[in-house]
Structure 1
Amino acid sequence: MASQLALRPSRRIATLITSSRTLRAFSSSTKCLQQSQTTGQDGRTTHFGFETVPEAEKEARVGKVFSSVASSYDTMNDLMSLGIHRLWKDHFVRSLNPGTRSSTSGNSWNILDIAGGTGDIAFRMLDHATNINGDLHSKVLVSDINPDMLAEGQKRSLQTPYANTGRLDFKVGNAEKLDFVESNSIDLYTVAFGIRNFTDKDAAIREAFRVLKPGGVFAVLEFSHVNSSLFNAFYKRWNFGAIPLIGQVVAGDRDSYQYLVESIEKFPTQEEFSSMIQRTGFVVPGKGYENLTGGIASIHKGIKPA
């Protein structure tokens, strides 16, 4: 149903995404890539999409974006990905298999879902643990820096069987400084389509390492980089031509979705991000990542050494 819903708007914009005007706009935007610097201490700059901004400003500007899109976030994800994001999330959760007896807590898992916003991943985690593994005790703490996104998840949670069971909780928090989470207390740390918006990704990964138990898993699902030049050309036309227009038509917010596609372009490559995870001390299985749909998205995992 989601995929069918997504296909109708895409036909209306088919002519737009192939226009030369779109290609010229993308070429102009990519010049800004050279101006961006990495994050650092106070006074340094970072990127907000293709724009270079003071590091201290990024958190507020990202917050404004997600406050703007909170109520239409899942609908826009359906339109942006033609519904495929739901399949990616399902696969992500299955690959983690929450609720198995192999967790560091024995029969139940203590899961932290960062940038969990609307609850998509948390609800899937509990569904899988309960319905697949018969686990009635694993619990998920959903944390997001944006109160508006978190409010959407709390509202939706009332329609799930996990409301008021003690298995699901929500808390506003910054992934770069998880003061409310004890060290060595988490079995599984997940972040889906959120880490590219963090100001200091290395700091967030270090916090993930701190709060995870030995043997715990750090798992990221994020938009990434397409591994086919032909497919990549079409993908960029879609991103930079269609998605901001969809944001304007459906959500009345072109600028926020322009930022979102630029943030995808700025995210490290699969190999670069895997190296960031390893530098923190995680052991990565295999080559460190799994590409989905030709690299449009990737799953990254790291295991904290026992």
Structure 2
Amino acid sequence: MENNIYNPEYVKGLFNKMSSSYERMNFITSFGFSIRWRRQFLETFKQTQHKAEIIDLLTGMGETWNATKNKLPNSTLTVLDFSDGMLKYAKQKSETKYNNEIIVLQQDILKNKLPSNHYDFVTCAFGLKTFNDEQLNVLALETKRILKSGGQFSFIEVSKPNNRILKTLYGFYLGKIIPILGRLLLGNPEEYKMLWQYTNKFDNAKKATEIFADTGLKTEFNSYFYGCATGFYGTKTDD
């Protein structure tokens, strides 16, 4: 399994299995901070009066949509994921809460059919950890390709805290307590054990920040709550 955890089919199967409980578990694993972080990682975006095109990559069950629409209400929101299980709930949310105004796409971002130079904003919350460095480079290149010149992007991921005590406590919580909760919710803790394995390997978003910057995107690292989440944001400038 060690060599296959970044295989897209493995990742898709993992999130399909967790889809029925993932939104609750994401809230629990972040001690409730995920809602605040979803707002905070959009704060770097400049307000715009024109009808902006936004795409939310690895959208999951649509947990970021509310924060996005509040930040940029005059916008068209397209969302993308490759997990059938996650998109089942995302489509239900689009229908019941957003009058089917959300454009839901089932595609692999690493092999997508998105238009070039099209989006004003690219967002992605809590999906970076499932990519290895090579895949992150593809993700960066695709982000650059689909953004308009001057377009903005923001990514965030749960990370290992900087503080030693907090890191130990957080590791115990994610590695031991969360699988127990996973057993209670799913009857099987293995999927939620993998979340900690991904987080442990990811560490923080500094390497991903460098990878995005190396493609020519203007990129800045960001940290939230003592490093419990990290990310980056930036702009596509004229070549």
TM-score, L = length of structure 2: 0.92
Q: 1:268 Cα shift?
A: 5.1
What is the letter of the counterpart of residue 298 of structure 1?
T
Whether 2:167 is the aligned partner of 1:235: answer: no
Q: 1:229 Cα shift?
A: 1.4
What is the letter of the counterpart of residue 79 of structure 1?
I
Task: Check the 8 A contact 1:282/1:305 in 2, yes or no.
Answer: yes
Matches within 5 A, 1:110-259: 110-130=53-73, 135=74, 138-160=75-97, 162-165=98-101, 168-179=102-113, 181-198=114-131, 200-259=135-194
From the CA coordinates, give the structure whose radius of gyration is larger.
1
CA displacement, residues 173-221 of structure 1 (integer Å, 9 cap, x when unaligned):
1111221x11110111111111221351211111111010111112101
Please identify which structure carries the higher helix content. 1
Matches within 5 A, 1:91-102: 91-96=40-45, 100-101=47-48
Whether 2:9 is the aligned partner of 1:60: answer: yes
Q: 1:271 Cα shift?
A: 2.5
Give the Cα separation in 2 of the matches to 1:178 and 1:231: 38
Whether 2:81 is the aligned partner of 1:109: answer: no
Matches within 5 A, 1:6-85: 51-53=2-4, 58-85=7-34
Task: Check the 8 A contact 2:81/2:106 in 1, yes or no.
Answer: yes
Give the Cα separation in 1 of the matches to 2:28 and 2:185: 9
Of all paired residues, the percent bearing the same amino acid is: 25
Q: 1:151 Cα shift?
A: 1.3
- Root-mean-square deviation (CA), in Å? 1.8
What is the letter of the counterpart of residue 63 of structure 1?
K
Number of residues of Structure 1 aligned to a counterpart in Structure 2: 236
Task: Check the 8 A contact 1:110/1:188 in 2, yes or no.
Answer: yes
Give the Cα separation in 2 of the matches to 1:267 and 1:204: 15
Which ranges in structure 1 are unaligned for 5 or more consecutive residues?
1-47
Give every structure 1 segment of 4 or more consecutive aligned residues whose post-TM-superposition deviation is greater than 4 Å: none
State the partner residue of 2:212. 277
TM-score, L = length of structure 1: 0.73
Q: 1:53 Cα shift?
A: 2.8
CA displacement, residues 126-147 of structure 1 (integer Å, 9 cap, x when unaligned):
13323xxxx3xx1111100112
What is the letter of the counterpart of residue 141 of structure 2?
R
